[in-house]
Amino acid sequence: MENRERLIAAVGRLLAAQGSVTLSEVAAEAGVSRATAYRNFDSSDDAILAYIAAFLDEFEESTDSVDSLRDLCSVWGRLVADRGYALVHVRSTEGFLARLRRSDPVISRIDRVVRRVLAADAEFAVAEAAHDRAVFVWNALLDPRELLDLAEHANTTVEIAADAMTDVLYAALEHKRPALTDT
């Protein structure tokens, strides 16, 4: 494993365990020198962004051939089960739609994947004009913090929690609902 990959993996482990990281901690966790950490990242925020980017890379790669929301949510649930405890510590204080409107890079990547699947899902149709709201609902129901919380309190797995929220998502996105049309 290359140093950068080891550093990114260390970021995830540390975030999951303690909720924050310093580059010195990341270097120690990865078994590399502080100088190596600083050669790869300008700051701990930069390292966290790299961790998020690696998560999104895996999400995009894992959903390339997915054409249903159910399958998309299943992939998401598996990834959240693996990395969700780190992700809950890097949430933005800004709302999803505000971040979408300003083309936040993280939200934009998630948005592209979900919109592609919305357009391809043959089980139902969501009007293009309602895609912002549909992606918003997807984000709200499948937020890593909420999936982990549901799994813990329902005494189940994150994957099963994601499947349950997928059923709620399908009900919420039923194409005949006027609440999902932007006018």
pLDDT for the residue numbered 183: 43
pLDDT for the residue numbered 124: 66
The list of the chain residues with pLDDT below 50 reads 175-183
pLDDT for the residue numbered 95: 92
pLDDT for the residue numbered 102: 95
Domains recognised in the chain with CATH numbers: 1-53 (1.10.10.60), 63-180 (no CATH)
**How many residues would you count in the chain?**
183
pLDDT for the residue numbered 65: 94
State the burial class of residue 170 (Cβ atoms within 10 Å of its Cβ: 0-12, 13-18, 19+).
Answer: middle
Name all contacts of 91-98 with Cβ < 8 Å and 24+ positions apart: 91/145, 96/135, 96/136, 96/139, 96/140, 97/132, 97/136
pLDDT for the residue numbered 106: 93
| CB within 8 Å of 67: residues ≥ 6 apart | 117, 120, 121, 122
pLDDT for the residue numbered 134: 85
Whether the full predicted model's pTM is greater than 0.85, yes or no, is yes
